[in-house]
Amino acid sequence: MAPPAPMQLKLRLPENGEVARALHEKRLEMREQPGGFKENLDRTFGKAYRNVCDSAEPIRTLKEFSKIKGVGPWLIRCMKGFFAESSQDSSPTKAKKPRGQKRSVPKKNTAASGSPGTVERNEEQAPANWNCQISQSLPPCQGTFELQSCSKTGSDEFNMPEKDTALVDHSIIDMPPRQSNEGFLETYEVVLILDDRENFGCRSRKVASQKVADNISSQFNISVEVKRLPVGDGIWIARHRKLRTEYVLDFIVERKNIADLASSIRDNRYKDQKSRLQNCGLRKLIYLVEGDPNTSNGSVASIKTACFTTEIFEGFDVLRTSGYTDTQRKYGYLTLSIIDYYKTNFYTHANSARICPTYNEFEGKCRSLQKKTVSQIFALQLMQVPQVTEKVALAVIEFHPTLFSLARAYSMLEGDIRAQEEMLKNKSKVINAGASRNIFRLVWGDGCNLQA
């Protein structure tokens, strides 16, 4: 027996009528599908619909929609099309201005999609599948960079919408300087640089990285070198053929195998690493996840959530590979795509785009990121305490920038343990009771019995 048609509810905020109606219609539409509609999914729709109708805050973006109770990754994928269309409808029809960077949405075969499966490609067709293309319909001084995948593998449970575009940016990528009418490849040689600390399965990481570099170079006929990078696991440079000056192109890769990603999530390293990437000066941030999350010894849900938020909310392009060999191919295809992009757009955009930093400038900027204040170090230490998230740690150092400052505040309440345990909670709504109590026990108590 088919479930009764859902009733439309009264809206607490009329402004959310469009979202509620779209959610209601999507629910009815999915009920009519030939394969039927699972009861648990129908309940998920119902709960989200009730909370949207009851929301006292306006829901204008996908991020605001994701904060509604009962809305998870599956519903976000179902409603992504509505928010894309509504944002287009609200834009002015005359004298449209460039929008700037559009954050990507996880798609099929990205790390957020779950299991990697086995990626099978025709080697001769592969460069066409992973290609950087420029939309010819855009006006001059605007380019659209697209990373495409034609692979069809991935987990049905966590797959993203069927869409080829993984990353789109309506801004001009930084260009190396052009001083003559020579073409890009006549002036520059593109070199993929891999970090010498990368682990590719051998005991000696430097030997392993060099072996991988040789394999990529011979397979794709490109230049690959190994050196110590200040940030990231892979970058691309344009080396001037005569002057030998090296300019860092606008792309950087952070590579994580599943075990390393799970470990970095537990100790909060991955947030610090992503922050350094976001502040290194390069704009095309690629997060390459290697392996199958479903085989991880850690929390599968936390890995998938981390990949999802990295791409949805933080502007990274999350790519997924099945293992070392697939990662090597991915590096090769990305290099060919980057070469093709600069070769195609060098003459058109070189005079209007920003100039790529030299390698020395890039290295100097990244080194400055490694310098931390006492407050930043204190925040990192606090994040190791159970229930203390990044937001909680930042809220604490806003009131007490150093350990000495915090200890002094506790000393003022000496003798009233309850007041000491609740001190931080009472100062900020961001700090919950558990985090406040755990910080007190670590700093002023015996450091035992911290509650997770």
Q: Look at residue 141 in the predicted model and tell me its pLDDT.
A: 31
Q: Is the pLDDT of residue 293 over 60?
A: yes
Higher pLDDT: 201 or 135? It is 201
Q: Look at residue 198 in the predicted model and tell me its pLDDT.
A: 80
- Contact between residue 235 and residue 193 where contact means Cβ atoms under 8 Å apart: yes
Q: Is the pLDDT of residue 99 over 70?
A: no
If you average pLDDT over residues 259-282, what whole number do you get?
A: 83
Q: Assign domain 184-368 to its CATH architecture.
A: 3-Layer(aba) Sandwich (3.40)
> What's the rounded Cα separation, in Å, for the pair 51 and 434?
27
- Contact between residue 313 and residue 103 where contact means Cβ atoms under 8 Å apart: yes
Q: Domain extents for the chain?
A: 14-84, 184-368, 374-444
Q: Look at residue 128 in the predicted model and tell me its pLDDT.
A: 38
Q: Is the pLDDT of residue 7 over 70?
A: no
Alpha helices in 352-432 (DSSP H): 359-369, 374-382, 390-399, 403-411, 417-427
Task: Give the mean pLDDT of the chain.
Answer: 76
Q: How many CB atoms are located within 10 Å of the residue 82 CB? A: 18
pTM given for the model: 0.55
Higher pLDDT: 132 or 16? It is 16
205-220 and 324-349 are packed helices; what angle lies between their axes, rounded to 10 degrees? 60
The dotted CATH code for 14-84 is 1.10.150
Indicate if 374-444 has the same CATH topology as 14-84. Answer: yes
Residue 72 neighbours by CB under 8 Å, 6+ apart: 44
Q: Is the pLDDT of residue 162 over 80?
A: no
Quickly tell me which residue has 């570099």 as its tokens.
Answer: 213
Q: Look at residue 54 in the predicted model and tell me its pLDDT.
A: 84
Q: Read off the pLDDT of residues 340-384 as tens digits, 9 standing for 90 and up.
A: 999 998 888 777 778 999 999 999 988 877 677 888 888 888 988
* Angle (nearest 5°) at CA 87 between 320 and 15: 120
Which of the given ranges, 145-154, 238-247, 362-371, has the highest pLDDT on average?
A: 238-247
CA distances from 341 to 198, 204, 334, 336, 427 (A): 27, 35, 10, 9, 52
> What's the rounded Cα separation, in Å, for the pair 400 and 424?
10
417-427 and 403-411 are packed helices; what angle lies between their axes, rounded to 10 degrees? 130
Give the right CATH number for 374-444 from 3.30.1330, 1.10.150, 1.10.3470, 1.20.1300: 1.10.150
* Per-residue pLDDT band at 182 (split at 50, 70, 90): confident
